[in-house]
Amino acid sequence: MKQNFAIIGLGRFGGSICQTLIESGQEVLAIDSNEDRVNEYMNIATHAVVANAQDESTLRSLGIRNFDHVVVAIGEDIQASILVTLMVKEMGVPNVLAKAVNEYHARVLDKIGADLVVHPERDMGIRVAHKMISRNILDYIELSNEVSIAEVRVSNPKFYGKTLGQLNFRQRFGLTVVAIRRSKSDVITSPAAEEMVRENDSLLVVGETADVDILDEKMN
Ligand code: ADP
């Protein structure tokens, strides 16, 4: 289903969100107070406008309240980021994603009602660290303080040719396999207990972060 998105702030973060959404066929209104930034996105976004998002009447005239998703990707100007997030939420936008530049900023954005707060440098640092700790962890996302999702390469031949049921995966590792990646284009989602693990597979698992962290060790 096509949804509409507004992105406020076209720095590296907001800009790459804009680009990706457009490539996925979504409609994007791109907003920045800097004219040069807006010019860069003129031919990329569905619409691009120069506007100061801190001005409530400007947000209203852009029809912000009618968007399904608004991304507040204002960088260093924390005050502007907080004010804009607050106004957008008060206007009734259902999904507001806000970028935080530090922990305090993240806590405030969360308190004033942002639906999702991302802290790109910290989040990427966490992902990279987990990937370095375990050579078989291909990707890693923290869903909350306690829960993570990870893609883990199956490198132990003992697993090959066995079904998830035979491996007793959930009981043994405390994690749920939500998908098996067989190749770049072949992904089995919600695999049944009868699904067999093969050489070169990787498993997408979800569960407690502590269990995710020791999975690779326990599988080898
Ligand atoms: P990044 O780390 O993602 O590159 P930047 O700080 O470079 O972040 O980018 C933030 C963008 O947000 C800048 O292009 C800036 O012009 C824009 N911005 C800052 N304040 C406002 C505002 N009040 N209204 C609209 N855009 C703003």
The complex scores an ipTM of 0.95
What is the residue with the minimal CA distance to atom 20 of ligand 1?
74
Task: Assign residue 82 the CATH number of its domain.
Answer: 3.40.50.720
C-alpha separations of 18 from 3, 10, 64, 67 in Å: 13, 8, 16, 15
pLDDT > 70? residue 1? no
Cβ of 97 below 6 Å from ligand 1: no
Cβ of 52 below 6 Å from ligand 1: yes
What is the residue with the minimal CA distance to atom 6 of ligand 1?
75
What is the residue with the minimal CA distance to atom 9 of ligand 1?
11
Domain boundary, last residue among 100, 118, 136 = 118
**Ranges 11-15, 94-98, 131-135, 194-198: which has the least confidence:** 131-135
Same domain, 10 and 94: yes
Same domain, 139 and 99: no
Same domain, 107 and 147: no
Same domain, 114 and 166: no
Number of separate domains in the chain? 2
Tell me, in angstroms, the distance from the centre of ligand 1 to residue 12's CA.
9
pLDDT digits (tens, 9 = 90+) for 112-124: 999 999 999 898 8
Question: How far is Cα 72 from Cα 7, in angstroms, rounded to an integer?
Answer: 6
